Amino acid sequence: MNDASPALAEIAHARGIHKTYHTPGGEVPVLRGVDLSVRRGESVAITGESGSGKSTLLHLIGGLDAPDDGALSVLGTDLRAADDTARATLRRNGIGMIFQQFNLIPSLDVRANLGFQARLAGRFDAARAETLARDLGLSALLGRYPEQLSGGQQQRVAIGRALAGNPPLVLADEPTGNLDEATGDAVAQLMLALVRQRGSALVLVTHSARLADLCDRRVHLRAGRLA
């Protein structure tokens, strides 16, 4: 995998990214020439007002969407040229994704959800999963189903799912947006600690200044550009 290459210090590289949404109400330009570089092990917070394009940028980096213009390369994959399968491969093997709505698989229990992406990527390690569950405080909940968990518990499962395969890049989209402040803080701390412990790079979108301050670097999106 690309993360095995020691020469690659730059994990994500974006230059001149443009993205416009076509809506029935007309064209909505969201990103107008964004440049961003994320290095190995680095944590970057993207902040900005609602509608500033934070999530869009994150989705582009995660290969969930394609830019209209500009150069975008993540873990050596040129995302402007990649097709659905190539982007899926990148997401599966290189990226851990944490969503605001957790997006757990409701019909699988916590244990299965935790190991899901690692298994998908073929990197599941039972001992590592065990440790991770303990670190996340989920050991007692492994047999439960998502609907039986609180929001904070669900987000901890989602974080565990993203990290279990040790991906070189973790993307988090408002990971604490659905949690109350206290829970959100605790979860965010835990996430950052675990990401650092594993040496993964982290890009997170948030409008919580406190969360952003916990990251190595903070970029602000305004009017479609990084400031």
Partner 1 sequence: MTTGRLARWRLVLGALVSHWMRRPLQLAMLLAGLMLATALWSGVQAVNAEARASYATAADRLGTGALPRLEPAGGQALTTADFVALRRAGWQVSPVVEGRLRNGTARVSLLGIEPVTRLGLTPAANDGGDASAGPGPQADLGAFITPPGQGYATAATARALDGADLRGLAIVIDADAPPNTLIVDVGIAQGLLGMGENLTALVAATAQPPGAPPLDRIAPHLTLSDPQAGSAADPAALTDSFHLNLTAFALLSFIVGLFITQSAVGLAFEQRGGVLRTLRALGVPRAEVLALMAAELAVAALVAGAAGIVLGWAMAAALMPGVAATLSGLYGADVAGSLQLRPGWVLSGLGMALAGTALAGARGLIQTARMPLLAAGMAAPWAQATARGLRLQVIAAGVLVLALPLCLAVGGLVGGFAALACGLLAAALVLPAVLDAVLRLAATRARGVLTGWFVADTRQQLGGLSLALMALMLALAANIGVGTMVGSFRSTFTGWLDQRLSAELYVTARTEDEGRAIRDWLATRADAILPIWNAEASLAGQPGRIYGVADDPTYRDNWPLLAAAPGLWDSLAEGRAVLVNEQLSRRAGLDIGDRIDLPGGALPIAGVYSDYGNPSPQVMMGLDDFGHRFPDAPRLYQAVRVAPDRAGALAAGLADRFDLPASAIVDQSQAKRVSLQIFERTFAVTAALNVLTLAVAGIALLTGLLTLASIRLPQLAPVWAAGIPRRRLARLDLLRTLLLAVATGAFAVPVGLGLAWMLLAVVNVEAFGWRLPMDVSVPLLARLGAASVLTALAAGALPALRLARITPGQLLRVFADER
Buried/exposed code over 55-65 (b: 16+ C-beta within 10 A; e: otherwise): bbbbbbbbbbb
Question: Which one of 10, 35, 65, 216 is in contact with partner 1 (CB under 8 A)?
Answer: 65
Q: Binding to partner 1 by residue 107, rule CB under 8 A?
A: yes
Stretch that binds partner 1, among 46-54, 70-78, 94-102, 198-206 (CB under 8 A): 94-102
Query: What pairing do the DSSP bridges indicate for beta strands 26-39 and 10-23?
Result: antiparallel
Minimum CB–partner distance for residue 104 and partner 1 (Å): 8
Stretch that binds partner 1, among 28-36, 44-52, 97-105, 205-213 (CB under 8 A): 97-105
Q: Binding to partner 1 by residue 148, rule CB under 8 A?
A: no
Cα distances from 123 to residues 87, 117, 133, in angstroms, run 18, 9, 16
Question: Which one of 47, 93, 153, 155 is in contact with partner 1 (CB under 8 A)?
Answer: 93
Q: Binding to partner 1 by residue 71, rule CB under 8 A?
A: no
Minimum CB–partner distance for residue 57 and partner 1 (Å): 13
x/- map, 10-39, partner 1, by CB under 8 A: ------------------------------
Q: Binding to partner 1 by residue 128, rule CB under 8 A?
A: no
Stretch that binds partner 1, among 33-41, 93-101, 185-193, 205-213 (CB under 8 A): 93-101
Q: Binding to partner 1 by residue 84, rule CB under 8 A?
A: yes
Binding site for partner 1 (CB under 8 A): 1, 59, 62, 64-65, 84-85, 88-93, 95, 97, 99, 103-108, 112, 116-117, 119-122, 145, 161
